[in-house]
Amino acid sequence: MKSETLISRNVNGINFYKSSLLTGVLGTTTLLVSGAVNISNLDPSSQKETGMSRSKPNIIVIMADDLGYGDLGGYYGGQANTPNLNRLAQEGMLFTDFHSNGPMCSPTRAALLTGRYQQRLGIESALPTDWDSRGIGSDENKNEITMAQYLSEAGYVTGIFGKWHLGKHQSGNPVFHGFDEFRGLTCGCSDYFSKIDRNGYRDWWHNDKPDFQKGYITEIITDNSINFITANKNKPFFLYVAHLAIHFPWQGPEDGNLETRGEGEDFTSNYPGSQSKLSPHPPEKVPSTVIEMIETLDKSVGRIMESLKDQELDRNTLVFFTSDNGGYLNYNGDVWPDVGSNGPLRGQKAQVYEGGHRVPAIAWWPGHIPALSVSGQTVMTFDLLPTFLELLEIKFPSPCGPNAIDGVSILPLLLEGESLAPRTLFWRMWDSGTAVRRGRWKLVIPGKDRKPELYDLEKDIGESNDLAFQYPKIISELEAELDNWEKDVKKR
């Protein structure tokens, strides 16, 4: 059943949500502005533990790439079979109103690691693919503090496996920004088998040295993550599993026999063919290939969770799964007409409509986060860092200082189902537009010199009914907040 149908259902009652999570089917219209629905009291086996110490829990962030709101099977209504992510949601908290900080890769990753609007770092779009790209390693960003640095100071072993995309230059390498170990790619995309980027360069590293690993990237990332867990099972660790999937090139795990990128060649074409950056498959094969990629991603999550249980770490590990932005519905117009799904949402990756930044998200921590929980609170990627700081009782940077955090801790939401305080949130994507969210209202300015649009997301999740003319006062208020925000983030 497609997510458009699931999410448009008008269903009520706590028993529906319990049965939905148990069966893997979720309609979310009635959850969009609600608080967390904690239904663990209906199931005695899922009650929170009270005797377990919260000191030094392991933390794992699993970030998918370009995974749309309607791509996952089960609760989000997609066609892919995702039993492991379904089980993760059954045992934890599912979010229906979680947003990436940006509608593209690098901005969200910068916000994740710093807890700050990416505009403060000058990272508002995907970083370029050349080796001079410093990103987070630039002189302007030398005083930024990353999640890995905060946790390292608190005694954690830190590792990242997969996609970095915060600077290809040596100065931007993860090991110079708080990570003890890095295996993966530094740029935005790579052939899943040859590990060659779109400019024809090999891009697979162990720390700051090239180190090729044979195999399919999603599976290699998983292997490296499990090895890290095993090696550090007796220490508190922070693991950032930064998947490339389902970013292009759209290649499934069995596609190694097809044409792959070769060293020294150019792979920047937006069209099908041997130089395409997008896929070795013809356009009509892409949707089924993307489903294969999603299902392989789901298997990766399952393997990591199984490893935690094998090492008896599952009840002392907080896991958060999400995506760096919404998915592509199509690419280059009708050339690649069908890619993924954002369910009932308007827009896609690189746009500030909901489809560009409302993404799947699940939090899991047995005995602490009540099972079968559903939250309709509006949460952003940059909320994860302050959540971890509060959990570990790490001192926050001064709210008036150069590292002031923009996100808020969602720890009370995760553990107690408490609602978040009202706030206004912002998205800006170079020439693709700007958006402001305050409660049910969303202001969208879809590009330079374009008229503002206003949507009531409580009634119109698909942003199809522009209410700008009916509510000019709300437009003015949100535009004023946007103006103040832009002045604030411009300060470097």
Q: In angstroms, what is the C-alpha Rg of the chain? A: 21
Q: 196 near 190, Cβ under 8 Å?
A: yes
* H or E stretch at 242: strand 237-242
Whether 243 is a known active-site residue: answer no
**Of the residues 99, 165, 177, 243, which is catalytic?**
165
CA atoms within 13 A on the CB side of 205: 23
Phi, psi for 484 (deg, rounded to 5): -65, -40
Give SS3 for 441. Answer: strand
Whether 357 is a known active-site residue: answer no
Q: 340 near 247, Cβ under 8 Å?
A: no
**Of the residues 105, 247, 357, 368, which is catalytic?**
105
Cα end-to-end span (Å), the chain = 48
Both tokens of 262, joined, read: 């070769």
* H or E stretch at 477: helix 472-490
228-232: long-range pairs with CB below 8 Å, 24+: 228/159, 228/161, 228/181, 229/304, 229/307, 229/308, 229/311, 229/313, 230/307, 230/311, 232/157, 232/159
Neighbours of 199 (CB within 10 A): 18
Q: Is 326 exposed, middle or buried (0-12, 13-18, 19+ CB in 10 A)?
A: buried
Distance CA 318, CA 368 (A): 9
**Residues catalogued as catalytic:** 105, 165
